[in-house]
Amino acid sequence: MWGFASLVAAALGGHAAAEAQTQPPSRLGSLLITLPDSEFVQRLDLDQPDRLSDLPDRNAKGARFFAANRYYFKIQDSGFKQDTLTVYAADTGRAAYVASRVPRLSDVEPSPLAEGVFFLTFLGIASDTGVFAVVDLANGQRVLASYKGEVGQYLHWWMPDGSLRRLHAHTGELSAWSGRLQDAREPITWQVLGVLSPPLPGQLYATAVPSPSGQELLLSTVDPRSRHEDLWMVDMRDGTVQRVTRDGFVSFVRWSPDGRSLLLRRSNVSSINTTFRGQCSYWIVPSSGREVSGLVPGIAHALAQQVFYGNRGSPQSLPCGKVAAWMP
């Protein structure tokens, strides 16, 4: 087993951007969200949350949305076991790419460097029969990255240098792929970097997302019996691991574009996977925050800021919708 510092150094691959140390505080930006009672993608200005505004494309509606960088996504059911994926430019709301009659999609994430390159997770009839793939939508190329039965076992993410990582949710095996889309429809060969054991014995990895600079990795672990979830921050420079939350019902949602803040969701019911309308709350926490606990809707917290919307005289807690992206 590798030492942790060596493991994360290999995972980083030497391509992390340096953190800006002298930048002045920036505005929080805005969230692209859908609310439980609306299928339209809307924008919430976090600095002036007086109201929600629709994006330019009023027809961008659907059951699930995913976004990163300059894009957001619409996934539509287009028939038996098939979806249509439409990729929109977030600044204009115009369609950039369309992929029709693809297998069921559960996840979409664009490469941070290569425009038009995404990884997609296709689901079969059962969730454990799906396939993970890297797709160049602009050129119609596809590289299969997994075999049937592997989708439910791995977490995948892009590094800032455009390479891919995956982490086995059960064993903690960390692998990398840095290949190019040259040969379509060929399996990806993953290089094993080492094993990253969960900080708490018996727990499984549920989320793994790097910071915009790539210097930090936010991980979540979940207890398979109680479903309690914990967040952890890994410093990719020295391998240190610090606990971010210990409430047991706080899940990760998004990094801010400048990497200084985290958007977290607090489930207000007995299971982290049960977030009906009115039973969760969203919070903004500094990415340097540690040991965060006691997030109670409507009660001020020393580290966290609850996300509200509506007029300032009577702000409303943001309901349990879908956070598509955190935009600058």
Amino acid at 231: L
Could you tell me if 233 and 292 are in contact, meaning their C-beta atoms sit under 8 angstroms apart? no
Distance between CA atoms of residues 279 and 139, nearest Å: 43
Q: What is the DSSP string of 134-198?
A: EEETTTTEEEE---TT-GGGEEEEE-TTS-EEEEETTT-EEEEE---TTSTT-PPPPEEEEE---
Nearest alpha carbon to residue 163 among 121, 119, 194, 207: 119
| pLDDT grade for 288, boundaries at 50, 70 and 90 | very high
The structural domains of the chain, with segments of one domain joined by +, span 55-197, 199-328
Q: Does domain 55-197 have CATH number 2.130.10.10?
A: yes
Could you tell me if 90 and 71 are in contact, meaning their C-beta atoms sit under 8 angstroms apart? yes
What would the two tokens of residue 246 be? 């210990």
* pLDDT > 90 fraction of the chain, expressed in percent and rounded: 18
pLDDT, tens only, 10-46: 444 444 333 333 344 568 888 888 777 776 778 888 9
pLDDT at 8: 43
Could you tell me if 304 and 285 are in contact, meaning their C-beta atoms sit under 8 angstroms apart? yes
Mean pLDDT of the chain: 77
